[in-house]
Structure 1
Amino acid sequence: MTSPYTVRAVVEEVTALGPFFAVQAHPPGTEPPGPWQPLSRPLLEARVTGVRDSLAAAGGQPPGAVETRVAASVAHLGLAARLVSPALAAAVLHGLVLASGLADLRWQPVIGGPGPLSLPGDAFTDGHADSPTGIADELSSRLLDGPLRELADAMAEFSVSRHILWGNTASAVNGAATMITSSRPELSARTRTLTSLLLERSPLREAGTTTPDGTFRRRSCCLIYRAAPDRNGALCGDCALSR
């Protein structure tokens, strides 16, 4: 495990990459004061409802016009991005892997942007920094099969298919990599190598594909187009439905 001092330094460097990377740290085994909360079922329900209301308002529609599964998918994509972004950045910058489970993380119920995220001070562990393959293996077992799978399990209860949920996760990985390379161009090669290795691992292997020119395309859709009037909204750039 990294020392508390190292964790603070990592948090500062990761947070500097942008809003989706911003994290705080709380002492391991302690409960940070409100408004920090665990990602409970009530918190997820409130987030899905808030996202549905926001999507409906953007289209000038009543909340009931937006399907719950659409709002849940969009909410999941945002939460997955909040988990993936700092985790990938720590791996790229320092060869560290987020080893905490979903129950160890704390959130603030904010709608309309990246929700505040706090990690326990012992959240990161050494991911074999001398080997990108070793780091990708650790990320797969500790992150993909850890809090990201737990998050997918929780969001699947809102009638969102696993195919869509893992597509959201793969899209979040690619999006985080794009933001890292934009902010820190000198990290481009390392970021893309690690991202490619991670996207090759199950269940992300089945969730998307990367073309020879490096363009990522998911094999599913986050469904956000269905939130617009007549379910005729714009598609995301990496959507399987885009042509």
Structure 2
Amino acid sequence: MNSPTAVSALIEDVAELGPFFAVQVHPPGTEPSGPWQQMSRPLLEERVSGVQEWLATAGGQPPGAVERRVAASVCHQGLAARLVSPALAAAVLHGLVLAPGLADSRWQLVIGGPVPLSLPEGAFAGGSTASPIQLAGELSRRLLDGPLRELADAMEAFSVSRHILWGNTASAVNGAATMITAARPDLTARTRTIISRLLDQPPLGDATETTPDGAFRRRSCCLIYRAAPGGRGALCGDCALKR
């Protein structure tokens, strides 16, 4: 998957699944044009502040009414979803494991929707494999233990526990799989085989469980319900607090 034509075809296939899957590409060692930024503490500070204000406004509250760690958790889940979604789609559709170095990825500060993401061309290097089990192992090694762990390390500084951060990541994995199977029902078995193996891997295995009826459930809460006035917002469908 080294030729520009092959990379372009993969990006188009992945983007058809929805906005959380769309990515741009930039050559290694270069900066993409436009308002792209490297992942950094200042970018995260600005992003968390923007999410905090957005959540407060949505609830008719002043920005300070929303706890900063709540905004940080919501921010983290959105960023994790942007890394997970195209990587999982590339694995399901093309048998390719994207390995985007977090330091080489570029982002734009957009609040209220999927954050624009540009990956280095090198992330698309490597051969493909048809085995879902092998793909799950590679995703665990190169994605979970790579940029997703780096992102969790960075967000922990905002007083969000590792338990919540890995729950957010697991929820992002399950959410991406749900969107893929909704768009491509013919890929349901392949997608579910990959994510069932992936969600069994540490640290995601400790962050999730399967309900008696076979549904996905995380063992933590992303805290978004606390952003509503009085902390009485609705719970997410996969929340540990929902019984």
TM-score class, shorter: over 0.9
Report the TM-score when normalising by structure 1. 0.97
Equivalence for 2:121:
121
How many Å separate the matches in 2 of 1:21 and 1:85? 5
How many Å separate the matches in 2 of 1:6 and 1:214? 37
Partner SS for 1:157: helix
The 3 A distance-change label for structure 1 pair 99 and 56 is: same
1:101, distance to aligned residue in structure 2 (A): 1.2
Deviations 1:137-175 (A, max 9, x none): 110110000000000000000000000000000000000
Of 195-204 and 32-41, more deviation after overlay is shown by 32-41
Contact kept? 2:69, 2:158, Cα under 8 Å:
yes
Contact kept? 1:225, 1:232, Cα under 8 Å:
yes
**Aligned-pair Cα RMSD in Å:** 1.2
Equivalence for 1:194:
194
Equivalent residues in 2 for 1:51-90, closer than 5 Å = 51-90=51-90
The 3 A distance-change label for structure 1 pair 220 and 181 is: same
Equivalent AA in structure 2 for residue 26 of structure 1: H
Matched, 1:203 2:185: no
Partner SS for 2:97: strand
Report the TM-score when normalising by structure 2. 0.97
Deviations 1:172-229 (A, max 9, x none): 0000000000001111110011010100101100010123643100000000011111
How many Å separate the matches in 1 of 2:190 and 2:219? 25
How many Å separate the matches in 1 of 2:212 and 2:126? 32
Equivalence for 1:91:
91
1:33, distance to aligned residue in structure 2 (A): 2.1
Contact kept? 2:70, 2:223, Cα under 8 Å:
yes
1:39, distance to aligned residue in structure 2 (A): 1.2
How many Å separate the matches in 1 of 2:178 and 2:109? 26
Of 42-51 and 3-12, more deviation after overlay is shown by 3-12
1:2, distance to aligned residue in structure 2 (A): 3.2
The 3 A distance-change label for structure 1 pair 124 and 210 is: farther
Of 209-218 and 151-160, more deviation after overlay is shown by 209-218
How many Å separate the matches in 2 of 1:26 and 1:152? 24
How many Å separate the matches in 1 of 2:192 and 2:212? 13
Deviations 1:34-84 (A, max 9, x none): 301111111111110000001111111111111110000000000001110
Partner SS for 2:25: strand
Contact kept? 2:22, 2:86, Cα under 8 Å:
yes
Deviations 1:98-128 (A, max 9, x none): 1121011111110010011111112124475
Equivalent AA in structure 2 for residue 122 of structure 1: G
How many Å separate the matches in 2 of 1:197 and 1:124? 22
Equivalence for 1:9:
9
Aligned length: 243
Where do 4+ consecutive residues of structure 1 move more than 2 Å? 1-5, 124-128, 210-214
Equivalent residues in 2 for 1:1-243, closer than 5 Å = 2-126=2-126, 129-211=129-211, 213-243=213-243
Partner SS for 1:123: helix
Contact kept? 2:133, 2:193, Cα under 8 Å:
no
Partner SS for 2:239: coil
Contact kept? 1:2, 1:126, Cα under 8 Å:
yes
Contact kept? 1:73, 1:222, Cα under 8 Å:
yes
The percentage of aligned residue pairs carrying the same residue is 76
Point out where structure 2 has 5 or more consecutive residues left out of the alignment.
none
